[in-house]
Structure 1
Amino acid sequence: MSWEPEIEELRRRQQMAGQMGGVDKVARHHANGKLTVRERVASLLDQGSFNEIGSVSGRGSYDADGNLLDLSPANFIYGRGRIDARPVMVGGDDFTVRGGAADAGIFEKQVQCEKMANEYRMPLVRLIDGTGGGGSVKSYESIGHTYVPANPGWDIVVANLATVPVVSLALGSVAGLGAARTVASHYSLMVKNISQMFIAGPAVVARAGETLTKEELGGAMIHAKAGAIDDVVDSEEEAFARTRKFLSYLPSSVDELPPRTDPVDDPVRRDDWLIKAIPRERRRVYDMRRIVRSVVDTDSFFEMGKMFGRSAMTGLARIDGWPVAVLASDPYFYGGGWTADTAQKVVRFVDLADTFHLPVVHLVDIPGFLIGLDAEKTATIRHGARALSAVYQARVPWCTIVVRRAFGVAGAAMTNHTRARFRYAWPSGDWGSLPMEGGIEVAYRAELDRAEAANPEGGREALMAEITERLEGVRSPFRSAEAFSIEEIIDPRDTRARLTEFANLAAPLRKPGFRSAGFRP
């Protein structure tokens, strides 16, 4: 006698679970412009690669004879699959079953998903569409008591941040622990108009006196600008595409090295326009993104966190096929000066590079920290010191290109100066403890005051012009090169060739293994 009846029963149960919340709930979900969790998994992974785990978990209803009448599936599905032929773990909330609330779920499924990613060293993708926490207060009545809060499996969530790449996609209204799971990642996304994220939703917030819509309280742009999530996309399909691209730069775990792709670009390509990319007028801005795209492999720059800490841009790229982490200044925001937000962004990005063994390329135009009352109120110097610490704690190879300015403590964050300095400057380089434009007033105050007292009609201005002319004579980067204060000045058009050399020298120095400092979201 075979076990075919039991296999038929398994298939029947899987068919029931595959109906998710039922035809009406699925139709309502589609009407809201959203894919179901199973459609999301199919769109993300290589075709036919998903191996589901816990496919018949849920709550069954039985007749008096013990025969299964119906199966309400758990509202979290997970399993193994492949992205570009590489094994990954994927877990997703099913909003069609009790709106993704945890009181319709089996929390052990989420825990096992995280554990399998950790122990088998596979990247983890979370498709989040619900609360994912303790559920509603209805659960108190069903279990007969309240409970002291704890987050089952959070130790594995933390461990994964130091072990495997973690991507979180907020694909609906995400609250509570669901929001925490979203941000506890290396890369997070929200989708315009269908994604919102809250510590607590509008109904709970209204009890505290604020009446807001879901979009007003937790819309995607709010979180992108605040740095809670990394990117906002226009569709779920775009979210899946960016997930695949992000993972392509990273190893499967810290036990491996980031994979090289076959080089498709001239390693010594010279773009002639770079010689005039930096304006001679020091206050004029320029397009750093265009410079970045010029010196890395064509179409390889993958920017992250564009809306937060905007005076620094961060992203992944390839140079001669080797994955690298790119940190660059954006003079369109505060002239490239670092704010508290910028410093926080730098810390997290450098930690990402160091965790997954990505050499860093830093294109520098940093006039210093933002100054003024707002800068003091936001503890800019504390966050800046943390950023400087992250740079000095990083152990990955590091190459610095000083494109224009480097002043003060923030400018010193261009590199860890105690290491062998793989550093170049463009002839537009301008550096020091303070920019001359503001520093002269401070350094020569007494002389300027005396000149003004002796000649109120123009003594101060005349001396200022005289001092400026004297200092301009020593401002040239060639004077610094003479003193070996900067190692080498290069033709901007040779930058890609120098970075290609760096990427190839750095590749054998990358070492797999854990980063001692771990990674914090």
Structure 2
Amino acid sequence: MTSTQAGAWDETLDDLEARRKRSYAMGGAERVAKHRAKGKLDARARVRALLDPGSFQEFGTLVGGEIAADAIVTGTGEINGMPVVVGAEDFTTFAGTIAPGSNAKRYRVAELALRNRIPMVMLLEGAGFRPTGDHYGRTPTDLLMQAQCSGKVPIVTAVLGPSAGHGALVAPVSDFRVMSDQGSIFTAGPPVVKASTGEDISKEDLGGPTVAIPSGVIHNHYADDLTCLNEVRRYLSYFPPSAWSYPAPRPGDADDPEITGPRDSSELLEVVSRDNRRVYDMHDVLDIVLDTDDWMEIQPKFGQAVICALGHLGGHPVAVVANQPQVLAGSIDAAAADKAAHFIQVADSFHLPLIFLADNPGMLPGSRSEREGVLLAGGKMFAAQTTATTLKLHLTLRKAYGFGSMVMSLLGFDNQVAAFAYPGATMGAMGAGALSSASGADADMAKQLRDMELAASYYSAEMMGFDELIDPRETRNQLLFALRRGLYSRQAAPEPVQRTAIMP
């Protein structure tokens, strides 16, 4: 090409660069500075912090014309070397609101995620639909496409400022939702609430972390933007890019004998008391059983009677559902069951092996628990775990009673890869104490019931109720070897899970 021919491009390319710069400037230097003065990153800085350096490729840069990127930055990039598609609402431009152009960009984000079979990440800080006067007609909404993505590609949302209306609906449809200290999420913001109901309330009191975490709308809460974005990266490190892939072992673990080789679990004898009435912290069990103690807990402040965690066993990503004896003695309440049901479905959708660690006296009884819908939530958890098609491993540590045992995969013919229990583990319809009270048993009968309860694990083992009663010191190795064996069943290409039950 001659210099004359190349020079003919100058005016055109200068025009393109000027238009891009206008988009890159977002809401302008003054608004961006004001935004950052609040301790928040701007939309483009958030995208850079989320993605691997140099991997971002933007699309839709010129949508909106004079309105920079039409208030949402969209594109593709990589997280830990895995391709992802990302959208970041720009609050400095028309408060991150949604117009026809930005709606089309949001739809394209979800469309590319599903077409390319890669995760989708949305960074929210916006005020919902923009009052433009334009008629949307039958224009497809982004939520329509996001629903098609569900269960097929991982969907993660970070709420990093106020998020209202249509934009806020992205979060509850996601697999994993995080929020910063400055985040808030609601159906409608304080001005609309004031006009509609007369209630005068701040955005923090309406949908900040103190509301969104207890309600279960948001899973995990972190101090600032950067921590949220790092935790999104961490979360995705456990997952395959889509339901058409299996989770990959952690790089380098295969060469580490401390990870892949046998390991004694003697510390569990000190952690797990033989006395059913003494509490212990199930977090300590996970520290010992999993490869390292840097596993990731999901929704640690909601439904705390059950721990849901992502970790590694022998280098393989796993999802753990464990009763927490420190909370309600391990009894499963409605919040814990709801949390576990969602977590199980997400793990199953992306083929993460599920490990159930049971130590509970059943579902939480009582009038308050019934008013909160414990049976309905328990039904959701049961349906999620029994229809799960991924590998399932079960261990009863001390006790598992009634429906509380069934939701934790202590159920015969439930397609577990392995089912273990510690000797002396107690099980049945209910504990001996409760049965004695319910039946009006005298002292001799009550003692017989207690003796039968203590012998239950041996009776069950004699009838093949478990694959094996194990010494607590064998815990990690038994689970590890069972997992390895189970992974050999994956001799065909994975496919998205077809749900086989109507969720209660």
TM-score, normalized by length of structure 2? Answer: 0.91
1:55 to 50, 61, 74: 61
Structure 2, unaligned runs of 5 or more: none
In structure 2, the residue corresponding to 1:272 is in which secondary structure? coil
Matched, 1:230 2:230: no
Report the AA paired with residue 332 of structure 2.
W
**Partners of 2:101 and 2:227 in 1: CA distance:** 28
The worse-fitting range, judged by mean Cα deviation, of 277-286 and 234-243 is: 277-286
Q: Which aligned pairs between 1:94-133 and structure 2 lie closer than 5 A?
A: 94-103=90-99, 106-131=102-127, 133=128
Report the AA paired with residue 203 of structure 1.
P
Assess, with a 3 A threshold, how the Cα gap between structure 1 residues 134 and 395 changes in structure 2: closer, same or farther.
same
Deviations 1:2-58 (A, max 9, x none): 323211211111111111100110011011111011101111111111000022222
Partner of 1:434: 430
Partner of 1:269: 263
Matched, 1:417 2:417: no
Q: How many residues align?
A: 484
Report the AA paired with residue 334 of structure 1.
L
Q: Is the 8 A contact 1:76 1:105 kept in 2?
A: no
**Partners of 1:258 and 1:4 in 2: CA distance:** 48
1:25 to 31, 34, 37: 31
The offset of 1:299, in angstroms, is: 3.2
**Partners of 1:169 and 1:425 in 2: CA distance:** 39
The offset of 1:105, in angstroms, is: 5.4
Matched, 1:12 2:18: yes
**Partners of 1:441 and 1:153 in 2: CA distance:** 56
In structure 1, the residue corresponding to 2:488 is in which secondary structure? helix
Partner of 1:292: 286
| Identical pairs, percent | 30
Partner of 1:279: 273
Assess, with a 3 A threshold, how the Cα gap between structure 1 residues 78 and 391 changes in structure 2: closer, same or farther.
same
**Partners of 2:233 and 2:207 in 1: CA distance:** 26
The offset of 1:280, in angstroms, is: 3.2
Deviations 1:134-183 (A, max 9, x none): 22xx43xx44x7x7898713221111112111110001001111221012
2:192 to 204, 207, 222: 204
1:481 to 461, 482, 489: 461
Q: Is the 8 A contact 1:301 1:315 kept in 2?
A: yes
Deviations 1:333-368 (A, max 9, x none): 211111111221121111111100111111001211
Partner of 1:191: 180
Q: Which aligned pairs between 1:221-370 and structure 2 lie closer than 5 A?
A: 221-261=210-250, 262-263=252-253, 264=256, 265-266=258-259, 267-370=261-364
Report the AA paired with residue 51 of structure 2.
L
**Partners of 1:212 and 1:507 in 2: CA distance:** 52
The offset of 1:307, in angstroms, is: 1.3
**Partners of 1:315 and 1:151 in 2: CA distance:** 36
In structure 1, the residue corresponding to 2:35 is in which secondary structure? helix
Runs of 4+ in 1 over 4 A off after TM superposition: 147-151
In structure 2, the residue corresponding to 1:125 is in which secondary structure? strand
The worse-fitting range, judged by mean Cα deviation, of 358-367 and 104-113 is: 104-113
Partner of 1:460: none
Aligned CA RMSD, in angstroms, stands at 2.0
Report the AA paired with residue 480 of structure 2.
T
Q: Which aligned pairs between 1:385-464 and structure 2 lie closer than 5 A?
A: 385-415=379-409, 416-421=411-416, 422-443=418-439, 445=440, 448=441, 463-464=442-443
The offset of 1:199, in angstroms, is: 1.1
Greater C-alpha radius of gyration: 1
Deviations 1:464-521 (A, max 9, x none): 3x2222223222233432343333211111111111112211223245111112999x
Report the AA paired with residue 239 of structure 1.
C
The offset of 1:372, in angstroms, is: 1.1
1:156 to 137, 145, 148: 145
**Partners of 1:430 and 1:210 in 2: CA distance:** 52
**Partners of 1:373 and 1:480 in 2: CA distance:** 33
Q: Is the 8 A contact 2:40 2:224 kept in 1?
A: no
Q: Is the 8 A contact 2:359 2:397 kept in 1?
A: yes
Structure 1, unaligned runs of 5 or more: 61-70, 449-462
The offset of 1:252, in angstroms, is: 0.4
